Amino acid sequence: MTAITQRRRDSLRRYFSGLALEETLSGFLFATPFVVGFSVFIAYPMIYSIVLVFQNWDLLTPPVFVGLNNITKVFRDPVANLSLYNTAFYTFLAVPVQLGISFLLAMALNQPIK
């Protein structure tokens, strides 16, 4: 039991000594801008938008919890339904067609000139 504990202690000491510690800290240092940017510009707004879906807030008064009322309003709105239809149409029809044309053009340009 003592040999295993001593071996583990030695490996931890080697890991946290000198070069390994410096590499670990530099790795965290290089990852920090991404983590901060992701948190500030992507994660926080996404989480806050999920919170706001369930509230009625006009920026002048405190937010009021309305439950699923906002979601039912969106699905009853014809403009929102048209927007969802246009988005689905573009996603499932226009994007694959453009991708196919782009692929064919890339293959044609990759052929040797005779």
Could you report the per-residue pLDDT of 23-33, keeping only the tens digit for each?
A: 888 989 999 99
Q: Give the chain's length.
A: 114
Q: How far is CA 42 from CA 34, 39, 60, 85, 87, in A?
A: 11, 6, 25, 26, 22
CA end-to-end span of the chain, whole Å? 75
pTM over 0.85: no
Could you state, in order of their start, the residue ranges of all structural domains in the chain? 1-76, 78-114
Three-state SS for 56? strand
Residue 12: closest CA among 30, 4, 26: 4
Percent of the chain with pLDDT over 70: 89
Confidence of residue 114 (pLDDT cuts 50, 70, 90): confident
